[in-house]
Amino acid sequence: MRLVVLAAGQGSRLLPLTADRPKPLVSFLGRPILDWTLVAARENGLTDITVVGGYKSEGLDSFPVHLLRNPDYASTSMVGTMMAAEQWFSDGFVASYGDIVYRPELLRALLASPAEISVVVDLDWRPYWERRFGDPLLNAESLRMTADGTIRSIGQTVNRIEDVQAQFVGLVAFRGRGVKALKRAWVRATTDAAYRRPILGYRTSMAKLGLTDVLDELAVAGDIAVKAVAVHGGWVDIDTPEDLVAGEERWNESRASEFVPAGPGPTPPAAGSSGSGSSGSAPDGGSEPRFHPVRRW
């Protein structure tokens, strides 16, 4: 299975850190974000990796990946960046946001899911969101699941904390019919755009189309189950310089805990949960040298 890393955006909220580099090259605990992704992939046997770059993508040239460049990154959505790698989807692939850091166990849990569309979601999102934003509803999106982990809503604006059972991590796998469903949704979106209709019923322009919009569309359609891979922490999201501080705190707090995937159901975290993950065999800050390139395509 191929890993497709979505790394085209400018990351303007991370300025000045992205003034001279793409977002995946911002340092987290002494190493570029992309290094952490490659280590997680390597520990799970994934060596076939495509990175879709855009802003200052020349900075990614030294990494052992197949590098695609999206010259229209400034006007392209996250989904458009992903679909630029459509020729590499084959019958299954993992899509990973380029601005997240996650422990190898998260990727391992995703790869172990047999579902045709599998989505990693964090049950321990709330303490982390409170640390980042104060109000947990700020920047939170809908994520509602059934008892067997089937996602019914994801990525939509919410006004009630009850509509947020978890948060999307930025890791998703498409297999078999799931790949075909994704491609069909993309065709519908581009067709809607051509006729100036709201994109998939949610957005008014292709530039605003998010991956969660597509996942929500597929979940609502119900033709193929969109399944949650529920975890307790083990990842951080880097959108702003302040996120680096919050992320390092969350990462370091999890060193002494054993990261265990939560299983398919939407069981809420225990009261007072801090969203801890674990070190396991995953790299800790400064404990592993930079992931050096070994080959180029």
Closest CA to 131 of 48, 251, 283: 251
Indicate whether 295 belongs to any domain: no
- Give me the tens of pLDDT residue by residue for the chain, a chain 297 residues long: 999 999 998 888 999 999 999 999 999 999 999 999 999 999 999 999 999 999 998 989 989 999 999 888 888 889 999 999 999 999 999 999 999 999 999 999 999 999 999 999 999 999 999 999 999 898 899 999 999 999 999 998 899 998 999 999 999 999 999 999 999 999 999 999 898 888 887 877 888 899 999 999 999 988 999 999 999 999 999 999 999 999 999 999 875 444 545 554 444 433 333 333 333 333 333 333 222 222 222
Please report, for the domain that includes residue 221, its CATH number: 3.90.550.10
Indicate whether 271 belongs to any domain: no
Indicate whether 57 belongs to any domain: yes
Counted domains in the chain: 1
Q: Do 166 and 143 touch, CB atoms closer than 8 A? A: yes
Global pTM reads 0.85
Determine the structural domain holding residue 165 and report its residue range.
2-253
Helix (H) / strand (E) element for 35: namely helix 33-43
Q: Which two tokens stand for residue 161?
A: 């904390």
Q: What is the dihedral of CA 51, 56, 61, 66, to 10 degrees?
A: 20
Indicate whether 262 belongs to any domain: no
